[in-house]
Structure 1
Amino acid sequence: MSMETYRLEVRETETNGIDADVYGEDGIVEESTRLAYDDFDLNPPESRDQEPSAATEVTADVTTLDLQYERDDAGFAFRLLGDRDELTTIRIDDEEWDLM
């Protein structure tokens, strides 16, 4: 394996939830997860000017990728693991995204 750049994108969906996707250098989705706000008793605002999103890139030499998320009292953490080691994390705070 050689060094490759991965892009982790987390965004709100039109269907009341969050999508998290990991893209390889070729733009193909390598890992993906989706969650519904209803599963966590959360409600986004009725309307937004723009759906919130966050993204980060990491370069690593790994053979396996794993995208995980955790929920705590104040938000979500989306973690990208490579060969079981944490490569990068995006934190989504309820207050920042106006989730109630």
Structure 2
Amino acid sequence: MTMETYRLEVRETETNGIGADVYGPDDLIEASTRVSYDDYDLDPPGSRDDAPAYTEEVTTDVMTLDLQYERDDGGFEFRLLGDRDELARVRIDDEEWDLT
């Protein structure tokens, strides 16, 4: 296997939620998941200057990628798995993103 660089992007979407995408070396989406604020009774602020976002790159040699998320009392946690091993973890706190 060869080492490849993947980019995990987590951002607020225009459809009232959070989108998480993993881009491969050719900038094509390799894995993706979406979270709707309505599913968790959350409301974003009425207006924002910029939508919050987070990006992280990982270089690895894996055969499979999986993108998962969990919700706890204070936010969301997105995990990028490669061959079932954790490659990256991104925490989105409700308070930091002004979710109520």
**Normalised by the size of structure 2, how large is the TM-score?**
0.98
TM value normalised by structure 1 = 0.98
Match of 1:20 in 2: 20
Partner of 2:43: 43
Partner of 2:5: 5
CA distance in 1, matches of 2:79, 2:50: 24
- Tell me the alpha carbon deviations over residues 10-59 of structure 1, each in whole angstroms, 9 at most, x when there is no partner: 00011100000000011000000011000011000010001000010000
Give the distance between the partners of 2:48 and 2:89, measured in 1 at CA. 25
Residue aligning to 1:66: 66
Distance 2:14 2:32 in 1: 17
5+ residue gaps, structure 2: none
Runs of at least 4 residues off by over 2 Å: none
Aligned-residue CA RMSD (Å)? 0.5
Give the structure 2 partner of residue 57 of structure 1.
57
Distance in 2 between residues matched to 1:78 and 1:50, nearest whole Å: 21
Q: Which residue of 1 aligns with 2:90?
A: 90
Unaligned runs of 5+ in 1: none
* SS of the residue 1:39 aligns to: helix
How many residue pairs are counted as aligned between the two chains?
A: 100
Overall identity of the aligned pairs, in %: 74
